[in-house]
Amino acid sequence: MAFKDLKEYVEPWLDLPINGKTYRVNSVDADTGIYCQLIVETVLAVQTGAELDEKDVAGLKLDDDAERDFNRRLLGTTYDEMLADKVAWEYVKIASRTVFTWTIRDRDAAEEFWMRGGRPEAHRPATKDRQRPAKKTTKKTAASR
């Protein structure tokens, strides 16, 4: 049995509606996808207590120009289209982060992120072993004053 062309099963784009217009964002190229995965791996390493060297830290810091370049890498030609349409920066950021989520996870996660207006997932309640201990309150009585 021969494999069918992948394009029959996968849509390598997202259609993002903003202000009554739908912007089609194509999947990122392989280099950008790998870069996104490296960002996630670095963040996970930090969260688990790993030490980062100066090169790793420098790679995570984005000045304004680097942030624009990163958004352009994620959104492709759609970035320029959004700028030409004078789309609010907040919407451009959410679109970019949606594509980032799609790149590192999948289409469903990206859609959930989009539907939350770009807000991160709600934090789950702390489990018993992660809850802060209750504050002890003591009443001052006349004798303890």
Q: How many domains does the chain have?
A: 1
- Whether residue 56 is contained in a domain is answered as yes
- Whether residue 42 is contained in a domain is answered as yes
Q: pLDDT-based confidence at 58, cuts 50/70/90?
A: confident
- Whether residue 37 is contained in a domain is answered as yes
Q: What is the pTM of this model?
A: 0.77
- Whether residue 129 is contained in a domain is answered as no
Tens of pLDDT, residues 115-131:
999 998 865 555 554 45
What's 142's DSSP letter? Answer: G
133 pLDDT higher than 70: no
Average pLDDT over the chain, rounded to an integer: 87
Q: pLDDT-based confidence at 56, cuts 50/70/90?
A: confident
143 pLDDT higher than 80: no
- Whether residue 145 is contained in a domain is answered as no
Which is more confidently placed, 55 or 84? 84
Tens of pLDDT, residues 79-111:
999 999 999 999 999 999 999 999 999 999 999
- Whether residue 7 is contained in a domain is answered as no
Range of the domain at 42: 25-121
From its phi and psi, is residue 117 left (phi > 0), alpha (psi between -120 and 50) or beta?
A: left
Dump the DSSP string for 23-51: EEEEPPPHHHHHHHHHHHHHHHHHHTT--
Q: pLDDT-based confidence at 64, cuts 50/70/90?
A: confident
Q: CA gyration radius for the chain?
A: 22
- Whether residue 13 is contained in a domain is answered as no
- Whether residue 4 is contained in a domain is answered as no
What integer is the mean pLDDT of 16-33?
98
Q: Looking at residue 74, what is its pLDDT?
A: 98
